[in-house]
Amino acid sequence: MSDNIVLCGVGGQGTVLASKLLAAAAMDRGLPVKTAETIGMAQRGGSVFSHVRLGDGAASPLIGKGKADLIIAFEPAEAVRQLAYLRPGGTVVVSDRAIVPASALVGGPAYDVDAIMAYLREQVEHLVVVDAAAAERDLGSAKCLNVVLLGAAVRTGVLSLTTDDIAGAIRRLVPERFQDLNARALTYVQ
Amino acid sequence: MHTDFLMGNEAIALGALAAGVNVVAGYPGTPSTEVLETVAKRKQGNVYVEWSVNEKAAMEVAAGAAYAGARALVTCKQVGLNVASDPLMSLEYIGVKGGMVVLVADDPGPISSQTEQDTRTFARFSKLPLFDPSGVQEAYEMIQEAFELSEQLGTPVFMRPTTRVDHGYEAIEVAEPAEWKRNEPEGFVKDSSRWVIFPRLSVINHAKIEARNAQLADTFSDSPRNFVLPEQGSVVRKGIATHGISYTYVSDNLDEADRPRVLRVGTPFPFPERKAVEFLSGLDEVLCVEELDPVIERALISVCGKYGLTTKIRGKLTGDIQPSGENTVESVGKALASFLGNEPQVNGTAATPAPQLPVRPPVLCAGCPHRASFYAVKKAMGKRKTIYCGDIGCYTLGNAQPLDMVDTCLCMGAGINIAQGVFHVEPDTTCFAFVGDSTFFASGITGVVNAFYNQANLTVVVLDNSTTAMTGHQPHPGTGRTMMGEVVQKVSIEAVLRAIGLTTVETVDPLDHKLAVETVRRVADEPGVKAIIFKSPCVVLARPQAKSHVDAHECIGCQRCIRELGCPAIALKDGKAVIDETQCSGCTLCEQVCPVGAISGGERL
């Protein structure tokens, strides 16, 4: 059995660190891990994803469509873009803060965030919406959204990992000066 | 041995170190870059590492090192191999003394490249053995085997991962540095009958190469890198032949207890013919699941012809596998279901169509000096008849709206002579060629010499951000740093241009918009080949701290800053421009563009 997790967002949002934390936490539990990331040109403000596969039985680092147990979306439109990866009955954890690309302002397709959120609510049985503005206000920083989302994802109980597992990975991988902030971020969503 | 969670490229680097590599040279290019960077980070003792000016230089440095008995590694992406192919095609005939591995990362998709070329095909063309790994652990092991084989046969050997292997992570078993092989190079031994290529030597060596490859095909048939998984359960008389990352997609789609026979080819050239005959025995039909070229498919067809086998070979040539693009778990699943006569799996949950999604093409960063350079040229030229020839780098992104300042882009360094070609056909067009600093050194200099000497009329615009930004900020000869950590004399782009003979070479800060526009207007009207060097550091490296902000009372909502610049930090809220401070780098370009002075707070570097 394996846990198949898709993380997605916009280049620069911290999806790579989040997938590294998941992988490190899984390795500490002795689980086999495979991951794949977007690297290269798309990192400059493009759509990015990471696939994380925990446990036995994963040959490829990539997840097939309709096979992800969980999508952790750092941005609503990116959640919809990756939704085909979700298995029936799967869970989506999504930040409600839209990042509107310049293309939507200079003649490209428009971005209607309300329509996107409504679509997610209609399509996803297990949807956890994280209020990014409230998290930023309460935690005093927008930089730990990735860990807020990870914490919310673990709280759903769909992974073989616990909050303590992630906390251990944070202690090892995150610089000292951000430890306290990330520890609070991890348990922000109750 | 210990377990390490590694990216494929990191594993390849550690494998090379474990094999006792002495010299590593390459040119950055996604998805290959991390190999050389990891060698530089993890090496011990006196391993020499350099980012060469281009792949041809890297190949020649590695060849020289291998002539002297060193173990040498070249790293590049598939298009880089084109640049290096001149020395490599001759080196094939000369051979090497120390083990030499040419690491070429292919990019199906393509995700970050101009082409979808398959280095397996290049291996056949150049008659050099090739290893094609399916995962991170295997890549670590294969590169060590590649060094052994290279040294044993005295020939360069290819190692060819694809993006999903390069950038996939796995926890794998790696050797401790104390267990790494130590290779003490013997040094170059003079022997002009061996190291000097002449037609007579080439024809003798060509015969040897053909004989060696026939022998090697046989040896490879016994290699564990080419293996057959026997059929399980009810699926008989059908087989799957596959390779690389596609092998893992096949595995994820097959039922372990009920699946056809599988051939996994890890060394497609020379093709392990005897193993293939063993695989084909008793099969009616085979589906070849390959990415990029139908290499295994063609080899199996030829084996069937040679041995009079009646097995039907299917794949790309029969339309059963997509002819181009990257394979995915789903695309392979669909092809397997169709081949095996199974119901295709229904994937995904979405029943109703999704609302319109915004597109996110990659964009120049907020504060990127290239934006200011393109905007200055655009403003200076206005409605004049122009052509803007672009090149390879972050600045290819200048093609996007609203800048729309890249009319052509072909390959590294091509823009200068493409502008020249256009000039000879339509001399009334004002021709510009944009080239980055790293690209200038890689292959721009010869272009300038050609255009200058052959009396072209064009403006070379060097976008000098003092780094190789797109691939992650590697040093180049203009930076004054080497991969060995030395601080060295820089090569001056301005001095190079003047030495060629250009009399007009102006260096300007593109973020001084007024001066930049004036300079472009003046320089473009001068005759002959002339150059502007727009010099301003990459914001990702410089990390400026100032932020611009919009005074909402002053902003008249004209949207000029948004429509003219396309900066990702500027958005529209309630009819007024707003600046996202988390992205803004305070470059001040929008402040200079605002007609009412509503934006302030930035600070030009």
Does B332 reside within a domain?
Answer: yes
Query: A70 CA to chain B: closest CA distance, Å?
Result: 13
Which of B351, B355, B397 comes nearest A115 by C-beta? B355
Q: What is the pLDDT of residues B264-274, one digit of tens each?
A: 999 999 999 99
DSSP SS3 for B239: strand
Q: How far is A40 from chain B (nearest CA, A)?
A: 6
Q: What percent of chain B has pLDDT over 70?
A: 99
- Please tell me which residue of chain B has the smallest CA distance to A114: B355
pLDDT of B164 strictly over 80:
yes
Which pLDDT does position B403 carry in this prediction? 95
Do B597 and B555 meet the contact criterion of CB atoms below 8 Å apart?
Answer: no
pLDDT of residue B509: 98
> How many angstroms separate the first and last alpha carbons of chain B?
48
Q: Is residue B469 part of a domain?
A: yes
In this structure, are B122 and B48 located in the same domain? Answer: yes
Q: What is the mean pLDDT of residues A14-26?
A: 92
Give yes or no: residues B391 and B327 share one domain: no
For A65, which of B3, B348, B471 is closest by C-beta distance?
B348
Distance CA B404, CA A159 (A): 46
CB pairs under 8 A between A and B: 180
| Position B178 pLDDT exceeds 90 | yes
Specify burial of residue B117 (Cβ count, 10 A radius: 0-12, 13-18, 19+).
Answer: buried
Of B169, B345, B349, the CB nearest to A35: B169
Residues B55 and B28 in one domain: yes
Q: CA Rg, chain B, in Å? A: 27
Structural domain of A97:
2-186
Contacts of A180 (CB under 8 A, 6+ apart): none
Q: What angle (nearest 5°) sits at the alpha carbon of residue B356, between those of residues B351 and B357?
A: 105
Q: Can you tell me the distance from the alpha carbon of B529 to that of B503, in angstroms, rounded to the nearest whole number?
A: 9
Q: Check CB contact under 8 Å for A61 and B170.
A: yes
Hey, are the CB atoms on A108 and B171 less than 8 Å from each other? no
The pLDDT value recorded for residue A42 is 61
Residue B180's CATH number: 3.40.50.970
Domain count, chain A: 1
Best of A1, A2, A31, A39 to disrupt the B interface by mutation (most B CBs within 10 Å)?
A39
Q: Calculate mean pLDDT across residues B377-399.
A: 96
| pLDDT score recorded for residue A44 | 66
* pLDDT at residue B346 in the model: 60
CATH number reported for the structural domain that contains residue B243 in this entry: 3.40.50.920
Reported in sequence order, the residue ranges of B175-269 that DSSP labels E, i.e. its strands, are 226-229, 238-242, 261-265
- Tell me the average pLDDT across B199-216: 97
Q: What is the pLDDT of residue B247?
A: 98
With cut-offs at 50, 70 and 90, classify the pLDDT of residue A106: confident
A contact residues 41-100, partner B, Cβ 8 Å cutoff: 41-47, 58-67, 77, 80-81, 83-88, 90, 100
pLDDT at B422 over 60: yes
CATH number at residue A85: 3.40.920.10
Residue of A61, A77, A83 with shortest CB distance to B350: A83
Disruptive mutation site among A67, A105, A116 for chain B (greatest number of B CBs within 10 Å): A105
In this structure, are residues A184 and A150 in contact, taking their beta carbons and an 8 Å threshold? no
For residues B399-426, average pLDDT: 96
CATH number for B567: 3.30.70.20
| Same domain as B487, residue B375 | yes
Band of pLDDT at residue B378, cut at 50, 70 and 90? very high
Q: Which residue has the tokens 């281009």?
A: B54
Instruction: State the pTM of this model.
Output: 0.95
Predicted local distance difference test score (pLDDT) of residue B147: 98
Put simply, the chain A residues between 3 and 42 with a CB less than 8 A from any chain B CB are: 10-11, 23-24, 27, 32-42
Q: Are residues B533 and B557 in the same domain?
A: no
Alpha carbons B605 and B593: distance in angstroms, whole number: 18
Together in a domain, B276 and B382: no
HSE toward the beta carbon, residue A171, CA cutoff 13 A = 8
Please tell me whether residues B334 and B389 are part of one structural domain: no
The confidence score (pLDDT) of residue A105 equals 75
User: Are the beta carbons of A159 and A54 closer than 8 angstroms?
Assistant: yes
Residues in A touching B164 (Cβ below 8 Å)? 36, 60-62
Task: Determine the pLDDT at residue B345.
Answer: 66
Question: What CA–CA distance (Å, rounded) separates A43 from A50?
Answer: 12
Kindly report the nearest CA distance between residue A64 and chain B, in angstroms.
5
- Beta strand ranges found along B202-354 (DSSP E): 226-229, 238-242, 261-265, 285-289, 312-314
**Which residues are registered as beta bridge partners of A94?**
A73, A129
Chain A nearest-CA residue for B396: A41
Across the interface, of B248, B356, B568, the residue whose CB is closest to A110 is B356
Nearest to B167 among A24, A36, A86 (CB): A36
Is a pLDDT exceeding 80 seen at residue B207?
Answer: yes
Q: Dump pLDDT digits (tens) for B318-371.
A: 999 999 999 999 999 999 999 999 876 665 555 678 899 998 888 899 999 999
Q: Which residue of B has its CA nearest to A21?
A: B5
Given a contact cutoff of 8 angstroms between Cβ atoms, the answer to whether B506 and B495 are in contact is no
pLDDT digits (tens, 9 = 90+) for B236-256: 899 999 999 999 999 999 999
> Are B277 and B378 within one domain?
no
pLDDT band at B309 (very low <50, low <70, confident <90, very high): very high
Give the pLDDT confidence of B445-456 residue by residue, as tens digits.
999 999 999 999
Query: Is B108 within 8 Å of B117 (Cβ atoms)?
Result: no
Instruction: Mark residue B536 as left, alpha or beta (left: phi above 0; alpha: psi -120 to 50; beta: remaining).
Output: beta
* DSSP element (H, E) containing B578: strand B576-579
Q: Are B436 and B493 in contact (CB under 8 A)?
A: no
Task: Tell me: do B473 and B526 sit in the same domain.
Answer: yes
Residues B431, B412 within the same domain: yes
Buried b (16+ CB within 10 A) or exposed e, B390-411: bbbbbbbbbbbebbebbbbbeb
B465 and B558 share one domain? no
Is residue B34 domain-shared with residue B152, that is, in the same domain? Answer: yes
pLDDT at B573 over 80: yes
DSSP B441-482: IIIIHHHHHHHHHTT--EEEEEEE-SSBTTTT-B--TTTSB-
DSSP notation for A62-124: SPPTT-EEEEEESSHHHHHHTGGGEEEEEEEEEE------GGGTTTS----HHHHHHHHHHH-
Can you give the residue range of the structural domain that contains B294? 226-340
Give the pLDDT confidence score for residue A43 in this predicted structure.
64
Q: How many domains does chain B have?
A: 4
